[in-house]
Structure 1
Amino acid sequence: MKLLHKFWLLLFLLNGIIINAQSCFNYDNFNVESIGPNALTVTTSTINVTDDLIIEDVRVNVSATHSWIGDMSIRLRSPLGSEIILHNELCEDFGDYGSPTYDDSATASPTDCILPYAGSLIPFQPLTFFDSENSFGDWELVIIDNADGDGGSLLSWTLTLCGEASTLNLNNFDLKENLIVVKEQKNIFNIILSNSVNYQFESCIIKVFDFAGRKIHQDIMNQRNDKNQFIYRLEAEFFSPGVYFVNIVANRTNTITPSGQSSILKLIVE
């Protein structure tokens, strides 16, 4: 009996470690897209991320060709609209682009122009800019060809996101004082979050959990009403009757309010 108890205790502890450990996921887009050749041609490729992580690390592999890579700038844009530059018009026509992985922990610099690029490279701007954002939504790789005459192709790209799963936190009610719920009609709710001086966000993530703690809905909350308050119309007609928890999490904010602050409210679906 004591041995059995020790087994379950060990299993519980191991589960706790697994649940709280950082997880990394790869997301790919293998659709070939043209780059250029006309000046200011913009090529945009999208990866939709359905996992719900609080980001702690980002890496990006880009596989492309171009006959004059100094024409290109390459940017990564998050679902929130945050954007950094990975490659910024470097190396003229010294060689083809290749397939580098942009990683803040890399030691090789793209300004060395060892082409085609391979292995890990330092991005032009740090990927840590995305830290603490939520992974959920559309990530975009944006390539701009800044001159006429030369062109190439985006062959594929892979986005690696690492972080901890965003979980329901019943102990954090930091935003509750600014949260209003208006019942529009049966099982349709308008959830309103004010954007006061002390709480200034660019967007929020809205998540709905059932009474057992299972997430059944998630979306980005970025629409505003005429009072500059965030508003989200939650249509719960197809939810089973019962008690649900709505979790609102602040995404990237200004320096006054850190990302990750949240509020939880209870809804009753008839």
Structure 2
Amino acid sequence: MSLLGPVEVRALAEKLNLRPTKKLGQNFVIDGGTVRRIVRVAGVTQQDVAIEIGPGLGSLTLALLPEVGRVVAVEIDPVLAEQLPLTVAEHAPELASRLSVVHADALRVTAGDLGAEPTVLVANLPYNVSVPVVLHLLEALPSLRRGLVMVQSEVADRLAAGPGSKVYGVPSAKAAWYADVRRAGPVGRNVFWPAPNVDSGLVSLVRRDPPATTASREEVFAAVDAAFAQRRKTLRAALASWAGTAAAAEEALVKAGVDPSARGEQLGVAEFARIAEQRPASAPRIAAGRPGATRPS
């Protein structure tokens, strides 16, 4: 089986009259060593069903297919979705039956769309939607036990950050609801075509149970969003609108065992869960957002 190098990637793009777009976050991997490394670090086996988001021209897909039982590739671009099975049939005909392609938006895909129960996420994620995609998939696909994703280096830092870190924020806390998240190594710019103007990083995800709480995920995430909406404020002030008043926020925080003068970046997701449990019944109703929604933090 042959992988896609710079010559093959550019030839495919020319054949499809494809000009990579920033809107879809299209930066295609042209280095065989990089995709082999991703598959190796992901630790996949023949028992795994891998879901790949944004397979593009198929560089990572071809590296995955020999190592897993099945690859479900979710591609939003109709031209690329149609081409991928043809590319696999040309480069790895003996593995073509292991691939299924779903033409869909990864931010809206559900378990019922896939025709399989993925056990592992392995993907070079589009930079512009990487965090929402990760959070959505962890919520929508309970069969997903682990993952390895390539994202912008700064995003990798934020996803893997713990409480107290300067880059800890909404993505960090929400990802921690679902999984143990860690950095798994850097990726340079020159392995892509076109080369992005930022570095990339690998992020490892291992599913774990959410904190034991009587609050729903939506309620906990609403507390997280409120705490980081005004990052420099104390929790007493930041949660005032969430609780109804600053006094009500302080009361909820004290009941949760959290210092009202603390700030959101000091708390782990278990503490946010305790806070959510204490939200006053009289507080203004907060519309539940999608699990992948994040606010600036």
TM-score normalised by structure 1 residue count = 0.26
- The structure having more radius of gyration, on CA atoms, is 1
- Greater strand percent: which structure? 1
Q: Which has the higher contact order (CA 8 A, sep 6+)?
A: 1
- Greater helix percent: which structure? 2
TM-score normalised by structure 2 residue count = 0.24
